[in-house]
Amino acid sequence: MALQCARYPLGSCGTPTHGSLLLLLLSLSWVLHSRAQTADTGQGVMSLWLQRTSQDLSWQRPELTVILRRALRGTEKKACPPGREVHVVDEDLIFYKEWELEACVDGALLAKQMDRVNALPFTYQQLNIFKQKLDQLYPQGYPESLIQSLSYFFLEVTPENIHKWNVTSLETVKSLLKVSKGRKVDAQVAALIARYVVVGGQLDKATLDMLSSFHPAYLCSLSPEQLSSVQQDVVWAIRPQDLDTCRPLQMDVLYPKAHIAFQNMSGSEYFARIKPFLGGASTEDLRALIRQNISMDMATFKKLRKEALLRPSLGPSTSLDLDLRSWL
Ligand SMILES: *[C@@H]1O[C@H](CO)[C@@H](O)[C@H](O)[C@H]1NC(C)=O
Ligand SMILES: *[C@@H]1O[C@H](CO)[C@@H](O)[C@H](O)[C@H]1NC(C)=O
Ligand SMILES: *[C@@H]1O[C@H](CO)[C@@H](O)[C@H](O)[C@H]1NC(C)=O
């Protein structure tokens, strides 16, 4: 029964006095002290403390309730209080406390009523609890039926979630891109595109156009053909890390685009911009760069095309300490 008092902080477990506050703080430091001494029996200490304090003290001070709730977390899984069970996602849920949502809401219900979840003004904290419920229900990844109905809830999921999905419907991709527009979810969008393409999905022109409004973190998921239709202004937005997983055939398409895009820049400025794209550069272009007395770091050098570095007199040069000047 001791726990009942803690669970209903506004209930009538006594009246607050300064004395009781002092006693609580003393108890708290006592708990921390004894926990340190008996680290492996922390749970026993905690329940002992709960019994002691709830006999003596009031829980009407919200800050104390918070302390207690934090202390409780992880040591006890609370049951849903009678009468608070959730059978439908409706307005009432908005007024549930976070621990009540944790105790009373079922992941399968959320998956079934995702449209209602999206229609109601839940807080970020509440939505995050819902997300955890879904993650627990689907540890291997959300089923495609749920992904199709995610809509705005897509903004709550992480790239790690998405990398477990199978997305086979272009309509789903489009609907999720629509809700993502103008939000900072570029990594999620990149993951979504990757998961669509990896199961054989084809992106159409309309989808590629939609993609151009996102940061191009998705580029390496596109085929060389799709990359060739990527607009020139997208090239300006590419960061080096966006190209990390691109394959040589993709770099072959991206380099000429970057070469043209950055043409209005001068020597070192141009080099700084073009560097991440050099994996797709031809022998002639590389030579022209090196003649400009530009020093290339080893990371960039290792990404160059082996064929571009071949010269009949030298043969294949993969040695790490290759002197580029002697190669001219
Ligand atoms: C995705 O597809 C793979 C291969 O068919 C399957 O093993 C995996 O369980 C699927 N994942 C989900 C979340 O449906
Ligand atoms: C080159 O062109 C781009 C876009 O057309 C522009 O943003 C950039 O400032 C230009 N750079 C120089 C050095 O003119
Ligand atoms: C090339 O760079 C080296 C080292 O940065 C410098 O000593 C040399 O004068 C430069 N040569 C030309 C032609 O710019």
Q: Is the CB of residue 141 below 6 angstroms from any atom belonging to ligand 1?
A: yes
CB 281 within 8 A of CB 255: yes
pTM, two decimals, is: 0.67
Cα–Cα dist 194/322, whole Å:
36
Query: Distance between CA 118 and CA 111 in Å, rounded?
Result: 11
Q: Whose CA is nearest to atom 14 of ligand 1?
A: 143
Closest atom of ligand 2 to CA, residue 262:
1
Q: What percent of the chain has pLDDT over 70?
A: 70
Report the atom number in ligand 1 closest to the C-alpha of 140: 13
Joined together, the tokens standing for residue 139 give 């540890």
Nearest ligand 1 atom, CA 142: 13
- Two structure tokens written together for 36: 């340190």
Pocket test for ligand 2, best of 264, 269, 274 (most atoms within 8 A of CB): 264
- Render pLDDT for 143-187 as a digit per residue (tens, 0 to 9): 999 999 999 999 999 999 999 999 999 999 999 999 999 998 999
7-16, 42-51, 57-66, 83-92 — most confident range: 83-92
Q: Does 248 sit in the ligand 1 pocket, CB within 6 Å? A: no
The finding on whether 265 has its CB within 6 A of some atom of ligand 2 is yes
Confidence of residue 69 (pLDDT cuts 50, 70, 90): low
